[in-house]
Amino acid sequence: MQTRQSMSQSFTSNQEQPLAPIESDHKHRVLVTGGGGRIGSYFAEHSSEKFEITLLDRSIEKMREKGLDKFATLVEGDIGDIEFLKTSFADFDSILHLAGDPDPSATWDSIHETNIVGTYNAYVAAKAAGCRHLVYASSIHAISGYPADVQVKTSEPVNPGDLYGVSKCFGEAMGRYMAEKEGLSVIAIRIGAFQPIEKAEDPEAIPMLDAFVSERDLNQLLVRSLEAQNIKFAIFQGVSDNRFKRMDISDARELVGYSPQDSFTKLNPALKDLELDEKVMSHGMTDHSKSGIRNELD
């Protein structure tokens, strides 16, 4: 089978177009590490009709307190135990790897144990257990070292702004290795400022205007990525349809049909009255009747 590659080499595919979901005779089985966290909890609550979901976390009681047992099977365990993961991952189609230390100011000891060793364990256990596909929760911090006026594309080198970002670069590199050399389909998603819409509506939330990703937009990208098992490897960037985007989302739009519904500039009261989406010039011809080649086309 031929391998399809972009000009930038930023993704590879196991087939030619179209990149349609793999057909299956059963409901897609997904295990979520770090399933009791904010992203995993939202995913379980809003995606249980589409997937058969198992949530794995260190505390099963905390997941029960959130009522997650209504949407998923709950499992207690530690990603530091690779043999436990190999057993737990058996019979799943996909792994959604969310577990890790999410603190950008985290020190090396915590980063190493959870974000490096734990991520290595998740990839290797997924391969050993016969899973087809792993979606990895990377972060905007993998590229936060770029100047603020740069919109980063997936084809550009990583540039972490902190040790947390360094750990996410490791996860992306490990994912590409597992995809290209071990045959595990991997998609890494660089998650922006994941927040409920109410947070974007706070006038004081301006600092996240270029990185905001709503709960429903990220969940849509997770779902589409979990379904895209014919992609061998890709990095997608998870932000909403903000007028100003720190990360380019063209790859996710083109390859899996990501279509974010929310925009920070339309939600935040300090910006929506400015009507930036309408007033900021796009510097492109919107009225094609005025195009410079109109005489040749008539």
Other C-beta atoms closer than 10 Å to the C-beta of 49 total: 7
Q: What percent of the chain has pLDDT over 90?
A: 78
Which residue in 105, 100, 92, 102 sits closest to 24, CA to CA?
92
Mean pLDDT of the chain: 90
- Rounded to the nearest 5°, which phi and psi values hold at 294? -60, -35
Over the stretch 255-288, which tens digit does the pLDDT of each residue have? 999 999 999 988 888 876 766 666 555 666 566 6
Domain boundaries in the chain? 9-17+25-297
9-17+25-297 is classed CATH 3.40.50.720: yes
In the structure, what pLDDT confidence band is assigned to residue 24 with cuts at 50, 70 and 90? low
Say what the pLDDT of residue 30 is: 98
pTM over 0.85: yes
In the structure, what pLDDT confidence band is assigned to residue 13 with cuts at 50, 70 and 90? confident
Is 234 in contact with 5 (CB distance < 8 Å)?
no
Has residue 200 got a pLDDT over 60?
Answer: yes
In the structure, what pLDDT confidence band is assigned to residue 6 with cuts at 50, 70 and 90? very low
Place of tokens 């974000």: 115
User: What is the bridge-based pairing of β-strands 212-214 and 4-5?
Assistant: unpaired
Say what the pLDDT of residue 287 is: 64
Say what the pLDDT of residue 279 is: 56
Say what the pLDDT of residue 286 is: 63
**Which residues fall within 8 angstroms of residue 124, CB to CB, at 6 or more apart?**
82, 86
Has residue 49 got a pLDDT over 60?
Answer: yes
Say what the pLDDT of residue 224 is: 98
- Rounded to the nearest 5°, which phi and psi values hold at 232? -70, -50
Q: What is the DSSP string of 174-204?
A: HHHHHHHHH--EEEEEEE-EEE-HHHHTSGG
